[in-house]
Amino acid sequence: MPTQQEVSEKLKQINYPGFSRDIVSFGIVNDVVVSDTKITVVLVLKTQDAKVVDALTRDVQKVLGEAYPGLTIEPRVTIQEARQAQQAPQQMSYLNNVKYKIAVASGKGGVGKSTVAVNLAVALAKQGMKVGLLDADIYGPSIPLMLGVDEQPAFDGKRLIPIEKYGVKLMSLGFLVDSNDPVIWRGALVTRALQQLMTDVDWDGLDVILFDMPPGTGDAQLTLSQSVSLDGAVIVSTPQDVALLDAVKGVQMFRKVNVPIMGIIENMSYFVCPHCGGRTDIFAHGGVDRECKRIGTDLLGEIPLDAEIRIGGDKGEPVVAANEKAPQSQAFMDIAARIKSNLTGQ
């Protein structure tokens, strides 16, 4: 007869559907009961999605069935009420005062997710919204640099005060760690650091907060989708097939946890030659639009590959802040307007 511990070890082979995190470390396995004839595994889910329930039931059957062929395997799934689930992290009151919470995500790193997040945040602020930007990228918190912020946030004795730049209130994981000191973020640490950035920061009175997520489908994504009721996710991709494939995984992941997908942004979409004005589709073109149609989501807009956009990021003055009327900025302003009207109906 295996011990409870041994069974839990086996269950770590199973990932939450669509995510790269296993169900044990994610805390879904509520109980494991082992008897002479039977292993019962109690899973607690916050989604009613039949596909998730089926996949988990099947995976538990398979993994434990193969490991312990003589025993009956009984996966039991309990659905935690959504309302109950939302109330559970009782400290979340600060973020509850924010009207709309949006994740800016990508499947792959380096596709321009932070660049897009920063410019969209500034664009939304220019369109009259009170905007917060939470840099949650554990692999490279780059938002402070992109907004030209080098001071540390103040502490008022109770909460950290976000730093305001270009009309955007900013907090970053980068403020909490030394940038010369690479941190190996383990699951529990990611969860704790992220939760702190949501609970211990004065986010009061915002209309919208954007989360610059780390790429992929791991701990940070799960933490966020479990502890905040996200109003939507915006996925950033380049037109290349590899990036697009990962972007689609990102879409599926958010759908699994019932976060509405607001659409995909195609970044580095095309290049306009500053000398001759001719357009080149460096990474091919049209792939994101096709993929959006296939998976039933919107193409939110196309951002050109452009030196001003890169320079704006490097010198800490996003192109939308530096020159709102430039065509590159208009691309961001248009997307921001779509997001705003999608959220507010205006």
Residues in the site for Mg ion, rule: CB under 5 A? 114, 137, 142
User: According to CB under 6 A, which one of 172, 223, 267, 329 is a site residue for ligand ADP?
Assistant: 267
Residue 115 binds ligand ADP (CB under 6 A): yes
Least CB distance from residue 171 to ligand ADP, whole Å?
17
DSSP string, 7-34: HHHHHTTPBPTTSSSBTTTTT-EEEEEE
Q: Is 313 in the site for ligand ADP (CB under 6 A)?
A: yes
Given 303, 320, 333, 336, the residue binding ligand ADP (CB under 6 A) = 303
Rounded to whole angstroms, the Cα distance separating 94 from 171 reads 14
Q: Which is nearer to Mg ion, 75 or 144 (CB)?
A: 144
Contact 132, 98 (CB under 8 A): yes
Residue in this structure with the two tokens 């939450």, named with its chain if needed:
16
* Helix pair 50-67, 4-11: axis angle to 10 deg: 120
Contacting ligand ADP (CB under 6 A), which of 266, 302, 306, 317? 306
Q: Does 135 bind ligand ADP (CB under 6 A)?
A: no
Which residue in 142, 191, 217, 237 binds ligand ADP (CB under 6 A)? 142
Does residue number 227 form part of the binding site for ligand ADP (CB under 6 A)? no
Which residue of 2, 109, 260, 316 would you call a contact of ligand ADP, by CB under 6 A? 109
Least Å from the CB of residue 265 to ligand ADP: 10
By the rule CB under 6 A, 167 interacts with ligand ADP? no
| Residue 132 touching ligand ADP (CB under 6 A) | no
Closest to Mg ion by CB, 140 or 167? 140
| Residues facing residue 34 across a β-bridge | 39
Residue 320, H or E segment:
helix 319-322
One-letter amino acid at 108 equals K
Q: Does the protein bind ligand ADP through residue 238 (CB under 6 A)?
A: no
Find the binder of ligand ADP among 110, 205, 286, 327 (CB under 6 A): 110
Max CA separation in the chain (angstroms): 78
Given a contact cutoff of 8 angstroms between Cβ atoms, the answer to whether 334 and 326 are in contact is no
Exactly one of 107, 112, 141, 287 binds ligand ADP (CB under 6 A); that residue is 112
Angle formed at CA 49 by CA 48 and CA 53, multiple of 5 degrees: 90
- Which residue lies nearest ligand ADP, judged by its C-beta? 112
> Shortest approach of ligand ADP to residue 105 CB, angstroms?
10
CA distance 95 to 199: 7
31/76 Cα distance (integer angstroms): 10
Which residue lies nearer to ligand ADP by CB, 67 or 183? 183
- With respect to ligand ADP, which residue has the nearer C-beta, 153 or 239? 239
Which contacts of 323-330 are long-range, i.e. CB under 8 A and separated by 24 or more positions?
324/126, 327/272, 328/303, 328/304, 329/119, 329/123
Burial class (CB in 10 A: 0-12, 13-18, 19+), 324: middle
124 CB neighbour count, 10 Å cutoff: 29
**Which span sits near ligand ADP by CB under 6 A: 2-10, 66-74, 110-118, 168-176?**
110-118
Residues that bind ligand ADP (CB under 6 A): 106, 109-115, 142, 267-268, 303, 305-306, 309-310, 313
